[in-house]
């Protein structure tokens, strides 16, 4: 733990009430974090009814211009909880936690964040479902190291589409049996962290006084 000498214990007292101590600190942590991760606030999204939370790539629009300040605040609160060995009421995705602490992602990390993409892309390609079930060769899928983006257009009811390369000149690189593992790794990293790098950085910055992740 780097920077722990800068950290100080947190003592909480509620206005108009007598008392302090660990119980009040935990109550404050629970209340504050519950508000920040509430899906209606727009900072997080979930594909499993709120059981697993992933930062919203469109939080700037959904939560407003101060969205990164909220992620920094949540990071600071997470650092306080770690310092005091308290739990926080937020089932943050394994992918997000790995990204915060600098651990490498694997294609399996996509399952809880986007189950459909995990089945339709990772399992389908990794396990050769295209051949065993559909009787196709991988080359027949016409995949390249490029992905299609889809995001909300908050000025209308439509969703906009665009594309982005997974690596330089990826649009010209076909996915083959030899490089499909690389493709799935880059696809996973793209879906899980590339679109939320600012949110991750803000969270890490907020937590830095307590923990200095190696990222």
Specify the pTM.
0.81
- Half-sphere CA count of 25, side-chain side, radius 13 A: 16
CA 27 to CA 24: how far, in whole Å? 5
Measure the CA–CA gap between 203 and 77, rounded to whole angstroms.
10
> In Å, how far from its chain's centre is CA 130?
29
- The H-assigned helical ranges of the chain are 22-36, 59-62, 67-84, 94-101, 110-113, 115-117, 124-126, 129-132, 180-192, 197-207
Mean pLDDT by 10 residues, the chain (215 residues): 49 54 77 94 91 94 96 94 87 95 95 92 97 97 89 51 90 97 97 94 91 58
* 189 alpha carbon, distance to own chain's centre: 10
The pLDDT of residue 44 is 97
pLDDT number for residue 19: 52
Q: Per-residue DSSP letters for 168-209?
A: TTGGG-B--TTTHHHHHHHHHHHHHTGGGHHHHHHHHHHHTT
CB 21 within 8 A of CB 86: no
pLDDT given for residue 86 in this prediction: 87
- Length of the chain measured in residues: 215
Give the model's pLDDT for residue 158: 52
């Amino acid at each position: 733990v780097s920077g722990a000498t800068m950290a100080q214990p947190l003592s909480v007292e509620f206005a108009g009430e007598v008392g302090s101590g660990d119980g009040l600190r935990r109550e404050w942590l629970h209340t504050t974090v519950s508000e920040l991760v509430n899906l209606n606030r727009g900072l997080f999204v979930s594909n499993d009814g709120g059981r697993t939370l992933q930062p919203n790539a469109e939080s700037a629009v959904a939560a407003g211009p101060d969205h990164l300040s909220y992620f920094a605040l949540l990071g600071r609160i997470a650092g306080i909880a770690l310092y005091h060995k308290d739990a926080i009421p937020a089932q943050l995705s394994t992918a997000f936690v790995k990204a915060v602490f600098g651990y490498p992602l694997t294609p399996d990390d996509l399952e809880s964040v986007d189950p459909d993409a995990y089945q339709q892309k990772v399992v389908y390609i990794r396990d050769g479902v295209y051949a065993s079930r559909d009787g196709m060769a991988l080359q027949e899928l016409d995949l390249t190291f490029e992905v299609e983006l889809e995001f909300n257009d908050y000025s209308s009811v439509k969703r906009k589409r665009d594309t982005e390369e997974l690596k330089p000149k990826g649009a010209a690189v076909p996915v083959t049996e030899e490089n499909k593992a690389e493709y799935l790794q880059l696809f996973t990293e793209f879906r899980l962290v590339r679109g939320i790098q600012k949110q991750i950085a803000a969270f890490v910055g907020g937590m830095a006084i307590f923990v200095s992740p190696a990222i």
